[in-house]
Amino acid sequence: MMNQIVLRQIADFQMLNGSFNSNLGLFNGKMGIALFFFFYAQSVHCDLYEEFAGELLDDICNNLSTHLPITFGDGLCGIGWGVEFMKRQGFIEGETDEILYEIDMRIMERDLRRISDISFETGLEGIVTYIQSRINSSRVIRNRQPYDCTYLMELETACQKADISYNLNQYDMDEVWNRVLRLFSSSFTQDEKDSWKKGLTIIGANYE
């Protein structure tokens, strides 16, 4: 009961303020807020929250810029992974290739041989996480992939050089989501009553 009160307070606050967040990303911006509202709408069976989540997603897609970093935490990889995760959860419908085309092209412009940051939030591991979600995305044409073979070979080589796993279960969407939730749970203080990250960790306790 207490958690439901907290979630409602978070939802009310974010309905008023979430759209003013200038960050589009997963860890600190509108993609994270949109995921909170999709999950919360599913939990309380309320179309209003689902519609607001859709509006946030539209705003994200309409304002994607080549100036955004390609990082997972607050950049294009996290936004793109969020879209794939929304589709996986049934929050959105249709193929994601068209939505994520520009992100895929931007990522392939990055010289993998020159990436020194290998972290999940801002480096190579985050890029791999997004790319694996795209490779495993369901498609009408199953053998169509957004990345060419040369790029994928270079990515695998970069992972081997950095001692990063390339094809393991850690890139399964459930595993990645649980990892994101753990990061969220350590990034807010208990007195942050209106934190959407807090809301997602509460909902995530029941995530399957």
Task: Indicate the domain borders of the chain.
Answer: 1-205
* pLDDT for position 191: 63
pTM value?
0.94
What is the rounded radius of gyration, in angstroms, for the C-alpha atoms of the chain? 17
- Say how far apart CA 166 and CA 75 lie, in whole Å: 21
Q: How far is CA 29 from CA 19, 24, 103, 138, 198, in A?
A: 9, 5, 17, 26, 14
Measured from the Cβ of residue 173, the count of other Cβ atoms closer than 10 Å reads: 17
For residues 153 and 155, what is the distance between their CA atoms, to the nearest angstrom? 5
* Per-residue model confidence (pLDDT) at position 73: 98
| Neighbour tally for 156: CB within 10 Å | 15
pLDDT at 193: 74
Residues lower than pLDDT 70 in the chain: 1, 140-143, 190-191, 206-208
What is the predicted pLDDT for the residue at 90? 96
Query: What is the predicted pLDDT for the residue at 142?
Result: 66
Predicted pLDDT at 190? 65
